[in-house]
Amino acid sequence: MRKQIAAANWKMNLTYQKAEVLLKEFLSQPQNLSDNKLVVLAVPSPYLTMAVDKIAGEKHMYIAAQNVYSKKSGAYTGEVSVEMLQSIGVTYAIVGHSECREYFNEDNALLADKVKICLEHNIVPIFCCGEALPVREANGQNEYVTGQLQDSLFDLSEDQIKKVVIAYEPIWAIGTGKTASSLQAQEMHAHIRSQLTTKYGADVADSITILYGGSVKGANAKDIFGQPDVDGGLVGGASLNAEEFKQIVQGLK
């Protein structure tokens, strides 16, 4: 069975002190995790080391960066490299979040480079894709997401793509309280898997974890994650509350 993942994306929230409290609260109870049921916490860059230290000894829990740069090192002020992440024990990185695409003009070609450099350094990229509301209203979401996959992922080899986690995050559902219905999520996840099947074959496609993101809450996680092609979620707002995020983790199948 492919990995099921509850991933938190704290975005640009919390002070260091509040982040420590949140982690402590979250870690205060065992989560029923297993080799196939993981928790990944994407915390702000200045808290990565603290978070790696805090989860040391916890099984099936990993720390992610919220972004990473496409170059190995050099004069790129303000950016964070895969080598830096690797050197402090970070094992996942979000790549291509819609907020980075929108506010920092990250395009599909840049994201292809980011995915590649992550894979070269054993960082698992959580590659985000998803359409804006006008695209959905014009029923163009399948083509749109196919384009994102083709441009950023489909140059990867079979061995490489197997290591990528994909997160479908419809932009109209992010931070809006408007969740995609479980049927809408399932339809898009099945579409993504069918594209992967066409390109890489059914065995590879079946092994790839596809997360849903966009207003996931404790109350809707089980329903959404219960869909056959939904393998967990990438959670923003609701991951800032330890109890709520625990409930989301419990929703993994």
Which stretches of the chain bind ligand 13P, using CB under 6 A?
9, 97, 169, 174-175, 213-216, 234-238
Q: Which is nearer to ligand 13P, 12 or 75 (CB)?
A: 12
User: Minimum distance from CB of 124 to ligand 13P (Å)?
Assistant: 15
User: Minimum distance from CB of 168 to ligand 13P (Å)?
Assistant: 11
In angstroms, what CA-CA distances link 39 with 99, 131, 158, 239?
22, 26, 25, 11
191 is catalytic: no
User: Minimum distance from CB of 101 to ligand 13P (Å)?
Assistant: 12
Say what angle helices 218-225 and 182-200 make with each other, to 10 degrees.
40
Nearest-CB residue to ligand 13P?
236
106, 169, 189, 191: which is the annotated catalytic residue?
169
169 is catalytic: yes
Sequence letter at residue 106:
E
How many residues are present in the chain?
Answer: 253
User: Minimum distance from CB of 190 to ligand 13P (Å)?
Assistant: 21
Using alpha carbons, select from 172, 170, 183 the residue that is nearest to residue 220.
183
d(CA 50, CA 52): 6
Extract the tokens encoding 129. 């894709």
User: Minimum distance from CB of 75 to ligand 13P (Å)?
Assistant: 30
Extract the tokens encoding 202. 């059914």
d(CA 111, CA 119): 12
Extract the tokens encoding 85. 């992440």
Give the rounded distance of the alpha carbon of 81 from its chain centre.
18
In angstroms, what CA-CA distances link 79 with 42, 95, 119, 120, 147?
16, 13, 18, 18, 27
Q: Which is nearer to ligand 13P, 39 or 200 (CB)?
A: 39
User: Minimum distance from CB of 203 to ligand 13P (Å)?
Assistant: 28
The full DSSP string for 60-91 is TEEEEES---SSSSSS-TT---HHHHHHTT--
> Known catalytic residues?
97, 169
